[in-house]
Structure 1
Amino acid sequence: MSHSSHFPHQEPYKLECKPVGLCVIINNKNFMKKKPREGTDKDAESLAEVFSWLGFRILMCEDQESEKMKATLQYFASPGDLSQLQEFSAKEWSGSEFIDPQKAPEHGDAFICCVLSHGELGEVSGIDDKHLSIKEITRTFRETEDSPLTGKPKVFLIQACQGSMTPPGVKSAEQNLQCDSSKPETTADLVNVLVAIATVEDYKAGRDPYHGSWFIQSVCQKLKEGCLKGENISEIFTSVTDEVSKKDGRTKEGPFKQVPEIRSTLTKSLVLSPHHK
């Protein structure tokens, strides 16, 4: 379920709030039974930088068990006060680092949710290796009469393996990649949602321990380039898929390839623009 590249006459979503909206990052690095996901902090900072540049308020929660992830997402679906936010040990991007938040979050005209973790097919992992389905993540923000996000674009970025298979590499490359692996399921078909997953179903997703994951780093770079040109989000993610699918890497198991998957029920053109502060 993907868009064509160009929507010359499509009505855009109105993005008039300041900040534009919230960008929530769940960054699971230190797992109870696995080695740390090296490189994930680089991904989190890259996401914070680019979405801050695009006018969003950035809030990050780290190293969450499955149930805590669920509670965190429910909180952000309909935010409460600052003391509740502090219960989730959230940090806020200040422009150069993550600091303690000073005020409660409020929704604007768009919402971004980034989950950086291990995963299995249709699921992401808490640090306790228990799983939360991508479907459940998106359904937490489903459109209801009292939801502050009804009618507004919601973008989910999932950096996690979706299985244990490795696409064969065309050629070897000098990169020591790691993988984010940890029931077939697909995301709920909810309106005004775009879900971008690092890899197609059944396959692994690569992460460079020094430079971050292929997928998230490509997303951030393509957002920087595309948003300056006024491209809509669907065009940008087509470029991400193209770029990542052409990369060649190597893991301990051998040559490595990766193809992201984009699923969209956006009803309008989502064009994000740099905000000069």
Structure 2
Amino acid sequence: MTDECISIKYDICGKDKTGILMMGRDKLDAQPTGREKCAGGENNLIGSNGNIDDASAGLNKYTAYMPTERHASEYNMNHKNRGLALIFNHEYFDIPSLKSRQGTNVDCEKLGAALKKLDFQVDIYKDCKLREILKYVDKAASQDHTDNDCIAVAILSHGEHGYLYAKDVQYKLDTIWHYFSAHTCPTLAGKPKLFFIQACQGDHFDPGVLMRKTETDGETSMSYKIPVHADFLIAYSTIPGFYSWRNTTNGSWFMQSLVDELNANGKKHDILTLLTFVNQRVAVDFESCVPDCPIMHQQKQIPCITTMLTRILRFTDKPSKGA
């Protein structure tokens, strides 16, 4: 697959509310493989730098402050601070086979602004090598999050078959998120840890389907254990094995939809409701328009949510700083 194959006018549904066509090109957040498939050998350059299963041994020695009542239906979002939001934005790569990700800076800027509106402290890192990513992640995980509600991490990059790309090498997501597990970062234990991933997960296309209109038991205790990997949520821009689309002018379909939903309803709906409507926006409002490359023409996309949350998460209002 070549870049020429993706030269287009723009997404067929890419119109704003006034009906003005928005210019740009749709791209794929993936390394071209030449094995693109319409119907739905990993490279082992680097894997996880920490075996989670091995790290689970002897967990009984780990304790953490209980941020929420044992059977509370919602997370405690009344701490002093909302928490950190780390955005790793990748536009250029040292890997020759990876094209630059035009449009990603639009995603990054708009996502950062949306998270700030939800009271996150946003830190943005651009075109980091893996060692730099791990340094920033380790620094964040080493902080005291006692007064924070949660943490969010967004990664905007190329990806394929379970791997994401840093500027210099590929890696698996658990390389990042295991830093924030309960035994590694106890001040985030029992608190939401949110990951938003804009990247391909494979080399399949989704042509879509045309829709036609028709007529335990009640043990109580003051303390309790939770799984080490509880309270994570990972929202992927696409399902495993499939491409993810990005517009060179307006940003990726997933990030556009996520930002719009956070801005419109971020403090109204719980996170799973928000992400359900993000799925709807991506599924209904976008379709690729690449008439010069039939295999890429009129393709669809659906995000994928992996949740280990144990309670309802709402971004409730924070008191004003002057109060």
With normalisation by structure 1, the TM-score equals 0.75
Q: Is the 8 A contact 2:80 2:147 kept in 1?
A: no
Q: 1:227 Cα shift?
A: 2.5
Q: Is 2:300 the counterpart of 1:257?
A: yes
Quote the Cα distance in structure 2 between the aligned partners of 1:164 and 1:73: 29
Any residues of structure 2 matched to 1:110-189 within 5 Å, and which?
A: 110-128=150-168, 130-144=169-183, 147-169=186-208
For 2:298, what is the secondary structure of its paired residue? strand
Of the candidates 293, 298, 312, which is equivalent to residue 269 of structure 1? 312
In the alignment, the residues of structure 1 paired with residue 200 and residue 231 of structure 2 have an alpha-carbon distance, to the nearest angstrom, of 25
Bigger mean CA offset, 141-150 vs 200-209: 141-150
Contact 1:107 1:149 in 2 (8 A): no
Asked if residue 241 in structure 1 is aligned to residue 303 in structure 2, the reply is no
Aligned partners of 1:26 and 1:235: how far apart in 2?
A: 25
**CA shift at 1:66, angstroms?**
2.3
Which amino acid in the other structure matches residue 49 of structure 1?
A
Tell me which amino acid in the other structure corresponds to 1:51. Answer: L
Is 1:61 aligned to 2:117, yes or no? no
Question: In the TM superposition, what whole-angstrom CA distance separates every residue of 1:120-154 from its partner, at most 9, and x where no partner exists?
Answer: 122210112x2121222221211117522111101
Q: Which amino acid aligns with 2:178?
A: R
SS of corresponding position for 1:255 = coil
Quick one: distance in 2 between partners of 1:50 and 1:236? Answer: 13
Number of aligned positions between the proteins: 227
Cα displacement (A) at 1:161: 0.4
Tell me the residue number matched to 1:51.
115
| SS in structure 2 of the partner of residue 31 of structure 1 | coil
Could you tell me which amino acid in structure 2 is paired with residue 140 of structure 1? Y
- The alpha carbon displacement at 1:228 in A equals 4.0
**In structure 2, what residue type is equivalent to 1:205?**
S
Query: Once the 2 structures are TM-superposed, how far is the Cα of residue 170 of structure 1 from its aligned partner?
Result: 5.7
**Residue aligning to 2:251:** 212
Q: How many percent of aligned residue pairs carry the same amino acid? A: 30
**CA–CA distance in 2 between the matches of 1:273 and 1:218?**
21
Listed one character per residue, the Cα deviations across residues 20-42 of structure 1 (whole Å, up to 9, x for unaligned) are: 10000000111122332111111
Closer, same or farther: CA 15–202 of 1 in aligned 2, 3 Å: same
Spell out, residue by residue over 1:87-119, the C-alpha distance to the aligned partner (whole angstroms, 9 max, x if none): xxxxxxxxxxxxxxxxxx997111000000001
The 2-side partners of 1:228 and 1:250 are apart by 34
Which residue identity does 1:17 align to in structure 2? H
What is aligned with 1:39?
A: 103
Please name the residue that 1:78 is paired with: 142
Inter-partner Cα distance in structure 2 for 1:250 and 1:274: 40
SS of the residue 1:60 aligns to: strand
* Residue in structure 2 matching 1:26, options 54, 73, 88: 88
Q: Distance in 2 between matches of 1:274 and 1:15?
A: 9
In structure 1, C-alpha distance between the alignment counterparts of 2:75 and 2:276, rounded to whole Å: 19
Any idea what SS the aligned residue of 2:136 has? helix
**Relative contact order (alpha carbons < 8 A, sep ≥ 6): 1 or 2 greater?**
2
CA distance in 2, matches of 1:75, 1:50: 23
Residue 232 of structure 1 is aligned with which of 270, 277, 287? Answer: 270
Q: Which structure's CA Rg is the greater one?
A: 2
**Using the alignment, how far apart are the partners of 1:192 and 1:168 within structure 2?**
34
Give 1:166 shift. 1.3
